[in-house]
């Protein structure tokens, strides 16, 4: 099993704070200057609907209507931050999203996501919630 040092734990905690602040300022406050504070080029995007680079964020965010990002679970390891969230306004209906952010020198430089339509527990084969 991997062992983590106090410095790695501190880095992970600091990265969580950066991601939460960055996402709030950019997506909730729609403050495009947050991109300059919390993201860095080259920004590598693994989401299949979005190209690489920060210009994509600059172009997408102003056009999001009714967008909210509600993280339910957050974990971090070293330079990675993982969030499991309920998101409104990204798709026609609310979706569950797992985002993975990689940070370098306190800036978000890479992003992966997995997006699922939210299904109620009554409609689910297992009766469990998705988030």
Segment 63-114, tens digit of pLDDT: 998 999 999 999 999 899 999 999 999 999 999 999 999 999 999 999 999 9
Determine, yes or no, domain membership for 106: yes
Distance of CA 96 to CAs 4, 20, 71, 93, Å?
Answer: 30, 17, 10, 10
Total domain count, the chain: 1
Residue 1 lies in a domain: no
Over the stretch 23-77, which tens digit does the pLDDT of each residue have?
999 999 999 999 999 999 999 999 988 999 999 999 999 999 899 999 999 999 9
- Whether 36 is covered by a domain: the verdict is yes
Closest by alpha carbon to 23, among 11, 39, 41? Answer: 39
In a domain, 129, yes or no: no
Whole-number pLDDT of residue 8: 72
**Scanning the structure block, which residue is given the tokens 């209906």?**
93
Residue 128 belongs to a domain:
no
Task: Give me the CATH number covering residue 49.
Answer: 3.10.450.50
Task: Classify residue 26 by its DSSP letter.
Answer: I
Is 130 within a domain?
Answer: no
71, part of any domain: yes
The answer to whether position 21 is within a domain reads yes
Beta-bridge partner residues of 73:
84
The reported pTM is: 0.90
User: Which domain covers residue 41, as residue numbers?
Assistant: 6-123
Q: Picking from 15-19, 100-104, 119-123, which range would have the lowest pLDDT averaged per residue? A: 119-123
């Amino acid at each position: 099993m991997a062992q983590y040092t106090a410095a790695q734990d501190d880095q992970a905690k600091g990265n969580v704070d950066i991601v939460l602040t960055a996402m709030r300022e950019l997506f909730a406050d729609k403050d495009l200057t947050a991109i300059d504070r919390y993201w860095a080029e080259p920004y590598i995007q693994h989401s299949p609907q979005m190209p690489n680079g920060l210009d994509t964020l600059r172009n997408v965010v102003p056009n999001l209507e009714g967008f909210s990002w509600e993280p339910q679970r957050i974990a971090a390891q070293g330079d990675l931050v993982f969030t499991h969230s309920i998101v409104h306004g990204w798709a026609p209906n609310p979706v569950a999203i797992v985002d993975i952010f990689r940070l370098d020198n306190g800036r978000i430089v890479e992003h992966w996501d997995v997006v699922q339509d939210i299904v109620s527990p009554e409609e689910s084969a297992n009766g469990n919630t998705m988030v």
